[in-house]
Chain A
Amino acid sequence: MSVISRGFGAGHSNGGGGRLPPGQHETHDFPVLSTGPTPQVDRSTWALNITDLEGSVTRWNWPDLMRAPSEDFTVDIHCVTKWSRLDTTWRGVRVNALLGKLADEAEYALIRCYGGYTTNLPMGDLVDRDAWIAYKYEGTDLKPPHGGPARLVVPHLYLWKSAKWINGIELRRDDQPGFWETHGYHAYGDPWLEQRYAGD
């Protein structure tokens, strides 16, 4: 069923030249979305705790992260609130470089963040697809409103999966829904399938 909105701009474009998932439009801003105040985290106390299936914790501090192999990458990002931003440039460390063999037995990961935010992803999306712990955005240190000191970037999923202020990766056998996934949003969040809300 098609409902036509009389007088609405025929011949317009959402932009993006074919690179936009359904229902998205291109923005040149970098809007901020979060559920509460921005955590202020100092690099000197920053830590990323990787918890394996047995509950053992491997702790990465900031110098550890800086010693890991990092790379520059350029990706399109898609927010569930309908905006997309193309060709964003970042620097960070691939998640599979951090996890190594720890990931082998796990099926899922629950990401934990400063401020209490959580989100869940299948392990394969973190280690077999492009996924990074990013700490620079467009050439400068990642600012706190955008997730600094460090955030996850998983460009093939809606941006709420690219958790800001990351401080933990919990490896799991079962899928534990995170924050938005328990507040009506889709468990997986593929923008190309328009998996915005639970049931989509």
Chain B
Amino acid sequence: MPATERSRDAAEVHADTGPALRRRPIRWLPAQLQATRMETHLARTLVFEVPGWSGHAAGQHVDVRLTAEDGYTAQRSYSVASRSGPDQFELTVQRVSGGEVSTYLTETMLPGDRLEVRGPLGGWFQWTARLRGPVLLLGGGSGVVPLMAMLRERTHSDSDSPFRLIYSARTPDHVIYTGELHQLAQAHPDIPITRLYTRAGLPDDTREPGRLRIEDLPTPAHGGTVGATRVYVCGPTGFVEHAAQLLVDRGFTPSDIRTERFGS
């Protein structure tokens, strides 16, 4: 399917204007690693060249397939971190203890090595610049990755949707995209970025370290000219379950809260 048609389908699905079923199989494409960046001691961004990749909507994910020399294969899903563009994308992967795929991607894989991908996948947890209205992004740990794709789309498109990011990490040393988030805050003072630490923060923090609390959340915008706040929550299951309940308690409408979780 050509890129323009696919992105239109995604927008239609997102606007809930009706089913847009994709009938043809989504093909596996070879992807070659071009470059890598360590984001933290555990998280690595991988830049892939993927001939035939037609782009994606911010928040969507891809399936990754690794094949060993003896034919053994393993598949996992990862959120796309980069803005949409043809023939390339970036993933950011955090190493999971004992995780053979995340360990390969963060430690073993070198530029020039290859794997297979297919996508983009997921028509629900996505944001496109044509959507108006305020957006609250709530990320826990590496759940920030699809939210970063949305922030990058927001700041590189002509969108003026009010955006806000609340990012919960274990310590300042676990903050993925730390430099880029500081640059983004400087270039876009209208986009508040809040870092919350669950284990230990900085010496002058006024907030005690700990999991997300209801007072960490803003109050929702309702109706009027701006429209209701659309909320995207991504992180480990415990974080998402907790955060989504706090959002409901804070007055956000359940149908405006979109969640994406990873549990294993």
Contacts and interface: CB of A to CB of B under 8 A. Distances in A.
A23 interface: yes
Contact of B72 (A9, A35, A36, A177): A9
Contacts of A36: 244, 254-255, 257-259
B74 A34 contact: no
Nearest to A145: B241
Nearest to A26: B264
Contacts of B66: 5, 8
Contact of B259 (A7, A24, A35): A35
A35 B258 contact: yes
B263 A33 contact: yes
A183 interface: yes
Interface string B115-141: 110000111110000000000000000
Given A7-B113, A31-B262, A184-B22, A38 B74 contact: no
Given A3-B115, A145-B237, A199-B23, A37 B245 contact: yes
Contact of B70 (A10, A23, A35, A180): A10
Interface in A35-57: 35-39
A121 to B, nearest CB: 17
B100 A12 contact: yes
Contacts of A179: 124
Contacts of B13: 182-184
B104 A33 contact: no
A35 B125 CA distance: 8
Contacts of B76: 82
Contacts of B109: 5, 7
A27 B237 CA distance: 15
Interface string A153-194: 000000000000000000000000101111110010000000
| Interface size range on B against A | 35 or more
Using C-beta atoms within 8 Å of the partner chain, give the interface range for chain A: 35 or more
B211 to A, nearest CB: 16
Given A2-B67, A25-B74, A38-B244, A33 B261 contact: yes
Interface string A111-142: 00001100000000000000000000000000
A81 interface: yes
B108 interface: yes
B123 A184 contact: yes
Given A197-B121, A200-B25, A34 B67 contact: no
A12 B72 contact: yes
A8 B116 CA distance: 13
B34 to A, nearest CB: 15
B247 interface: yes
B30 interface: yes
Given A8-B68, A8-B108, A182-B13, A3 B241 contact: no
Q: Which of A5, A35, A197 has the most CB atoms of chain B within a 10 A radius of its CB?
A: A5
Given A81-B77, A83-B263, A182-B18, 4 more contacts: A5-B66, A7-B110, A182-B19, A199-B26
Interface of A: 1-14, 23-25, 27, 29-39, 81-83, 115-116, 145, 177, 179-184, 187, 196-200
25 contacts: A2-B67, A3-B116, A4-B67, A4-B69, A5-B113, A8-B104, A10-B68, A10-B72, A23-B73, A32-B261, A33-B263, A36-B254, A36-B258, A37-B245, A38-B245, A82-B63, A145-B237, A179-B124, A181-B19, A181-B21, A182-B18, A183-B123, A184-B122, A197-B121, A198-B22
